[in-house]
C-alpha cells in the first residue's frame, strides 16, 4: 500500500501524519513550530519528521499545507508575515524533492482546508463552494468544479482585506475583532480575554459579550453576502476557531446573511460549518498532492 507523509504548518504548531492511498491517516503527531526561529528552522523540523517516517516506510510523496501565500507550481512561499521570519522565498518543494528524491506538493493552509472539506467534508457534492476560515484574520478557499480557484496571482480568496465601512472585513468580523470589541466595552486589555471566555460570558447573560457577538454575526452576514453575489456558491463553509460555537452561531449568522441577500440567491446558498477539524490541513495536503499526481 502506498504511503505519503503530510504536514500542516502553522505559526504555532506543525501537525504531521502518515496517510495511505485511501486517504486514511494511519499515524500522526505534532510539534511546536518555533516560528520565531525562522523558515529554515521549520524546514529542518519537516525534514526530521520525513526521515523518521522513512526509516520504516517507503514513502511515495510529500504533501505540505502551510501558512503564507504559495506559488503552487514551484512550491515556493511567495509571502509570509512576520510571524515566520525569513519564510518568504523558501523553495519548499525544491528543498524536499532534492533531499528525498520523491515528489512534493505545497499549498496554502486555508486552501488545503477548503479542498479537504470539498473532497471529504461539509462541501462534498457541491459544484461551487467557498470555505471561510475565521480566526485572528479571515481567509477563503474558492472551489469550482472540484478545482481550487487561485486567481491570476495566487491570491484569490483573500477576503479578509475586503473594504467594508472604511476598514477591512477581518477588522470587523474576526475573532480578534470580537475580543477587541469586548475589551473596549469592559475597559480592559484584549490579552485578558479570548473567544472561549467571551462565549461563556455571553451564554451566562453578559450584555457586552452578547452585543459584540451579534455585531460580529452582522458583519459576517454582510461579508458573506458580498462574496455570494460575486461567486454564487452552492455552499458556504465556515471553519476556524468559531466551529466550536456552531450551535450558538449558526442561526445568528444565517439570519444576518439572509438580511443582505436577495431571496433568489439566499434560497440557493447553504451555510454549513466545517466538519474535519484539525485533520483538514493534512487531508487537504494529501488531496492536493493526489490531484497533481
Q: What's the CATH code of the domain at 131?
A: 3.30.420.40
How many domains is the chain built from? 2
Q: Mean per-residue pLDDT for 61-75?
A: 95
- 3-class secondary structure, 25: strand
Please name which of 129, 121, 162 lies closest in space to residue 145, comparing C-alpha atoms: 129
Q: Mean per-residue pLDDT for 1-17?
A: 95
- Looking at residue 1, what is its pLDDT? 87
pTM of the model: 0.91
Q: Are residues 134 and 235 in the same domain?
A: yes
With a CB cutoff of 8 Å and minimum separation 6, the contacts of 97 are 103, 104
Q: Are residues 131 and 241 in the same domain?
A: yes
Beta bridge partners of 277: none
Q: How confident is the model at residue 145 (pLDDT cuts 50, 70, 90)?
A: very high
Contact assessment for residue 107 and residue 65, using Cβ atoms and an 8 Å cutoff: yes
Q: What size, in residues, is the chain?
A: 293
Q: Which helix (H) or strand (E) holds 253?
A: helix 246-260
With a CB cutoff of 8 Å and minimum separation 6, the contacts of 253 are 217, 220, 221, 224, 238, 271
Q: What is the pLDDT of residues 18-35, one digit of tens each?
A: 999 999 999 999 999 999
Asked if residue 42 has pLDDT above 90, the reply is yes
For residue 114, being part of any structural domain is answered with: no
Contact assessment for residue 8 and residue 285, using Cβ atoms and an 8 Å cutoff: yes
What is the spatial distance between Cα 293 and Cα 291, in angstroms, rounded to a whole number? Answer: 6
Q: Which helix (H) or strand (E) holds 287?
A: helix 280-292
Q: Are residues 134 and 271 in the same domain?
A: yes
Q: Mean per-residue pLDDT for 146-163?
A: 91
Q: Are residues 191 and 244 in the same domain?
A: yes
From residue 173, give the alpha-carbon distance in Å to each of 109, 216, 282.
Answer: 20, 5, 26
Amino acid at each position: 500500500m502506498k504511503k505519503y507523509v503530510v504536514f500542516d504548518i502553522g505559526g504555532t504548531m506543525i501537525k504531521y501524519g502518515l496517510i495511505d492511498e485511501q486517504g486514511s491517516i494511519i499515524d500522526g503527531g505534532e510539534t511546536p513550530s518555533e516560528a520565531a526561529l525562522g523558515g529554515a528552522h521549520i524546514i529542518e523540523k519537516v525534514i526530521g519528521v520525513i526521515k523518521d517516517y522513512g526509516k520504516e516506510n517507503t514513502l511515495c510523496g510529500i504533501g505540505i499545507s502551510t501558512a503564507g501565500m504559495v506559488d503552487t507550481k514551484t512550491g515556493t512561499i511567495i509571502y509570509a508575515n512576520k510571524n515566520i521570519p525569513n519564510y518568504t522565498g523558501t523553495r519548499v518543494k525544491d528543498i524536499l524533492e532534492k533531499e528525498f528524491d520523491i515528489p512534493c506538493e505545497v499549498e496554502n493552509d486555508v486552501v488545503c482546508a477548503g479542498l479537504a472539506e470539498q473532497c471529504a467534508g461539509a462541501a462534498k457534492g457541491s459544484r461551487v463552494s467557498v470555505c471561510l476560515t475565521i480566526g485572528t484574520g479571515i481567509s477563503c478557499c474558492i472551489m469550482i468544479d472540484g478545482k481550487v480557484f487561485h486567481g491570476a496571482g495566487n491570491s484569490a480568496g483573500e477576503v479578509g482585506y475586503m473594504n467594508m465601512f472604511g476598514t477591512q472585513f477581518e477588522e470587523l468580523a474576526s475573532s480578534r475583532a470580537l475580543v477587541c470589541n469586548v475589551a473596549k466595552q469592559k475597559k480592559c486589555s484584549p490579552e485578558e480575554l479570548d473567544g472561549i471566555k467571551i462565549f461563556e460570558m455571553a451564554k451566562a447573560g453578559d450584555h457586552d459579550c452578547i452585543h459584540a457577538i451579534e455585531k460580529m454575526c452582522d458583519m459576517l452576514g454582510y461579508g458573506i453576502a458580498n462574496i455570494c453575489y460575486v461567486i454564487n456558491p452552492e455552499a458556504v463553509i465556515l471553519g476556524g476557531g468559531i466551529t466550536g460555537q456552531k450551535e450558538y452561531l449558526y442561526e445568528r449568522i444565517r439570519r444576518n446573511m439572509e438580511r443582505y441577500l436577495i431571496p433568489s440567491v439566499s434560497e440557493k446558498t447553504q451555510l454549513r460549518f466545517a466538519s474535519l477539524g484539525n485533520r483538514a490541513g493534512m487531508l487537504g495536503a494529501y488531496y492536493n498532492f493526489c490531484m497533481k499526481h
